[in-house]
């Protein structure tokens, strides 16, 4: 790609990182340009159009305000069409790249990212997965008149929809809770109509949990306490291995399905746990309809905040002239 005549291209560190997977090529890739200071908004946007990935990010020095607040770096997030205030898989992939290139957080307990949405804490678990603290969520009711054309574009009957909500956490989604994971996986969207509607639909359905409570739990207070512990242990074990939520992200603007989506999963987690429909920790599965196998982990911290994360894998590492 040619740089404008007034700009001297520099060799900058560059990586592509696969996010929400332990196996390269099965997650959601993000292109990350490090040492991006000096690039204009137009240059960042042009490069994001050129990579043509769902998101391309640029890691810069924090702003003076961010630095004063403890930020380790500033992140700019671009789609081929424009800039986002926040996005989940670019946050995790960019943190992976920054750490891989020798980044040292000011606080050894966590990385603090500055972005348009604000300051986003990121931490690594014992399993080396990266987690971000879910940013604040704004949500609004959706009218039946707004829902009807979207459901038609998705080929869904009204009775297959349990709940709907507009969700915004730096990225905007129409959250649709459907009646069954099979319903989510069977949707064949009319992307042309979704684009005309300007719809960005986040589909989700909850897997039924098995009732493993032993019968002995009914016999006495002590036995009930034991049964509760055994049930919680069994549930935790199952949660660690099996997804509790099936998710798809259908984006009219780009007429595409996003493979695995951190911002959507963060918004769904806050919405559905807030409604009492999901308990943490849980795993959300996403990407099977586009040949991926994304695993998004959701946990609750001691302070009650939700953290969303997953594994990250370097796919390419080199330099780019920008």
Q: What is the DSSP string of 180-202?
A: -HHHHHH----HHHHHHHT-EEE
Q: Which of 55, 133, 246, 257 is catalytic?
A: 55
Q: How far apart are CA 44 and CA 37, in angstroms?
A: 11
114 belongs to the catalytic site: no
Cβ–Cβ < 8 Å for 9, 322: yes
Enumerate residues 6+ apart whose C-beta is below 8 A from 186: none
Cβ–Cβ < 8 Å for 297, 309: yes
Q: Output phi, psi for 250, to 5 deg.
A: -115, 115
Q: Output phi, psi for 242, to 5 deg.
A: -115, 140
Each as own residue / partner, the long-range contacts of residues 176-182 (CB below 8 Å, 24 or more positions apart, any chain) are 176/150, 176/201, 176/202, 176/203, 176/204, 177/204, 177/205, 177/206, 177/272, 177/277, 178/203, 178/204, 178/205, 179/205, 180/205, 181/205, 181/206, 181/207, 181/246
End-to-end CA gap in the chain: 8
What residues act catalytically? 55
């Amino acid at each position: 790609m040619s740089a404008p005549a007034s700009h001297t291209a520099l060799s900058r560190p560059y990586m592509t990182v696969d996010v929400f997977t332990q196996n390269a090529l099965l997650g959601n890739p993000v292109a990350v340009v490090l040492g991006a200071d000096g690039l204009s908004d137009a240059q960042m946007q042009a490069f994001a159009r050129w990579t043509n990935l769902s998101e391309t990010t640029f890691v810069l020095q924090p702003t003076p305000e961010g630095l004063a607040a403890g930020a380790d770096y500033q992140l700019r997030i671009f789609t081929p069409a424009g800039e986002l205030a926040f996005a989940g898989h670019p946050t995790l992939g960019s943190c992976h790249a920054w750490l891989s290139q020798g980044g040292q957080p000011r606080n050894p307990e966590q990385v603090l990212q500055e972005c348009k949405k604000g300051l986003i804490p990121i931490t690594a678990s014992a399993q080396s997965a990266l987690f971000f603290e879910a940013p604040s969520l704004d949500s609004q009711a959706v009218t039946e008149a707004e829902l009807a054309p979207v459901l038609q574009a998705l080929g869904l009957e009204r009775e297959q929809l349990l709940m709907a909500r507009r969700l915004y956490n730096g990225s905007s989604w129409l959250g649709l809770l459907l009646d069954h994971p099979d319903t989510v996986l069977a949707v064949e969207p009319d992307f042309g109509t979704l684009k005309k509607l300007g719809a960005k639909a986040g589909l989700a359905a909850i897997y039924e949990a098995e009732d493993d409570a032993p019968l002995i739990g009914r016999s006495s207070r002590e036995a009930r306490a034991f049964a509760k512990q055994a049930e919680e242990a069994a549930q935790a074990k199952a949660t660690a291995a099996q997804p509790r939520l099936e998710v798809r992200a259908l984006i009219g603007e780009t007429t595409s399905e996003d493979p695995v989506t951190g911002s959507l999963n963060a918004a769904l987690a806050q919405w559905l746990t807030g409604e009492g429909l999901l308990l943490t920790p849980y795993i959300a599965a996403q990407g099977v309809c586009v040949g991926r196998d994304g695993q998004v982990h959701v946990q609750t911290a001691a302070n009650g905040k939700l953290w969303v994360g997953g594994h990250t894998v370097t796919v390419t590492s080199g330099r780019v002239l920008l």
